[in-house]
Amino acid sequence: MVQKAERVRGRQGRPVGNVTRGTTNPNRMRRLDRWLTGPQARRLRAAKHPLVVDLGYGASPTTAVELFERLQAVRPNVRVCGIEIEPARVHAASRLARPGLSFHLGGFEVPVPGDPVLVRAFNVLRQYEETDVPAIWDLVRSRLSPGGLFVDGTCDEIGRRVTWVAMDPERILSLSISMRFGSFELPSEIAERLPKALIHRNVPGERIYSFLQAMDRAWLEAAPLASFGNRQRWSAMCRSLLDGGWPLLDGPSRWRLGELTVDWESVAPG
């Protein structure tokens, strides 16, 4: 059920946001976490105080624990704070707290000491109204450290189809799409997992619609490469998109994972 974020502007002493369903599964965020520990690892390495927030980790803290363990490989002294708006969820998660990993009651105001270098909010804004998204994005971005990154994303129940929008304190940067090979016939099937800012925009005349249609055309044109494997076919699709003028921001090392990242302005709502 979509909920109106009635407290986006905040009320004295109360978290900003509403309780959401909170469903999750182990390893559901692995595709995003692979991106955070890959091309975005530089942000964590450069941070004087490596603070990371998992915003709205859900009824189970599993994905917050996984994020902590994965980021430790990049920055052993990382601090991960899981934030939930439901007190019972925070109480249950606190049993898994350890040095570097803690759990806090709160919402989009991000009530943690210090300015985080990374904030991850997955499958959270999907449950809000589209009109709430800009204010929520601005609020979370205002809490980032210089050079920090906020990621708002959506995925299916077991993490086979994933999308996320990345933004820093100054601007919205990109949209990333990551799909498990063999889980789709056409790339445009990712449409049902687009972030809230885009999911209702997949209609003719919108940029995201044009981009997904271009992905499908390039994927079909690359069909002769299927015998060499889907990695080669996806990479050929990405090369075709790039040659066709779509501003992809990554390259073959990410494409071979079933991933691509495109400049936000090329897919943003019209």
Q: Residue 1's pLDDT is what? A: 42
Q: Residue 12's pLDDT is what? A: 59
Q: Residue 8's pLDDT is what? A: 52
Q: Residue 253's pLDDT is what? A: 97
CA–CA dist 267, 241 (Å, integer): 13
Contact 159, 27 (CB under 8 A): yes
The alpha carbons of the chain give a radius of gyration, in whole angstroms, of 18
**Nearest-5° angle of CA 85, CA 86, CA 91?**
115
Q: Nearest to residue 35, comparing CAs of 82, 3, 67?
A: 67
φ and ψ of 182, to 5 deg:
95, -10
Mean pLDDT (10-residue bins), the chain, 270 residues: 48 79 85 98 96 95 97 98 96 96 97 96 93 97 97 96 98 98 97 97 98 98 96 98 98 98 97
Helix, strand or coil, per DSSP, at residue 64: helix
CA–CA dist 201, 259 (Å, integer): 21
H/E element, 67: helix 62-72
In a 10 Å sphere around its CB, with 0-12 CB exposed, 13-18 middle and 19+ buried, how is residue 133 labelled?
buried
Contact 116, 144 (CB under 8 A): yes
Q: Residue 218's pLDDT is what? A: 98
DSSP string, 2-59: -B--TTTT-BTTB-SS--------TTTTHHHHHHHTTTTHHHHHH-SS-EEEEET--S
Question: The tokens of 63 are what?
Answer: 């994905």
H-type alpha helices, 156-229: 196-199, 207-221
H/E element, 231: helix 230-243
Q: Residue 50's pLDDT is what? A: 97
CA–CA dist 235, 241 (Å, integer): 10
